[in-house]
Amino acid sequence: MTTPRAFIIRHGETEWSLNGRHTGTSDIPLTSNGEKRIRATGKALVGDDRLIVPSKIAHIYVSPRHRAQRTLELLDIGCRDKLPWQESRNHTLDIRTNAKVQITEDIQEWDYGEYEGITSLEIEERRKEKGEGKWDIWRDGCPGGESPVQVTERLDRLIHDIRARFHDQAIGKPKGEAPISDVLLVAHGHILRAFAMRWIGRELTEGVSLLLEAGGVGTLRYVDQFAAQGKRVLMWKLATNIEAFMNLLSCEYPLGPML
């Protein structure tokens, strides 16, 4: 039976990700090393005989931030149409997918508010001066930014959109009869980790122990034997570079309540 997948990819390395500064609404470009590693990820993971098969992608969601959009460009998925932020199609590869690319604020990074541009250590120092406890974004959110409830609302909306438009029509269908249904999301660290938790029905306030480094890739799908019921599972594949791709780490998490 067909089990549609959602591939999540964090944008490549930036100067702020290197020094641990929280990057939400700020539009920080990729470093030259970040671009190099994303190109390597594309060569290692994208292709007819690779993890991400362009011809099987039904839709691509990307954050409004340039660092995420540049990451999608460097992956060389081979979209038929020009990317929304381009004046003309300038991909280096031939057409490999008919998937449309959608820019959506539902997958933009967590709004860090007052914590934008500063490190976790600086946040702890600020909170200590105010007599506040240790910061946990999954519980506390960000002052002047988003709360876990607000982030959950937009992620649940996105997951519902993915299921309604692409996955429901393919789940449980015999292979060869199901429509193209894989989706690709290119975004940011905190929001993609939160997306993975909501995918399996976990509350963000439970705490998120998943990690996704710059340029990392994750695969989310449905449990084969329960696909017809739409039960979801997280297959967390870390592939931050070619070396890591050779040693993929896969973990199955217990399912929570369905969204």
Catalytic residue positions, numbered = 11, 109
The response to whether 111 counts as a known ligand-binding position is yes
CA-nearest of 223, 236, 230 to 9 is 236
Q: Give yes or no for a contact between 148 and 248, defined as CB atoms under 8 angstroms apart.
A: no
DSSP state of 31: P
Distance CA 4, CA 169 (A): 10
Q: Give yes or no for a contact between 44 and 75, defined as CB atoms under 8 angstroms apart.
A: no
Distance CA 42, CA 50 (A): 10
The response to whether 81 counts as a known ligand-binding position is no
C-alpha 14 chain-centroid distance: 16
The response to whether 112 counts as a known ligand-binding position is yes
The response to whether 24 counts as a known ligand-binding position is yes
CA-nearest of 208, 256, 258 to 236 is 208
**Which residues are annotated as part of the binding site?**
23-24, 67, 109-112
**Which residues are annotated as part of the binding site for substrate?**
23-24, 67, 109-112
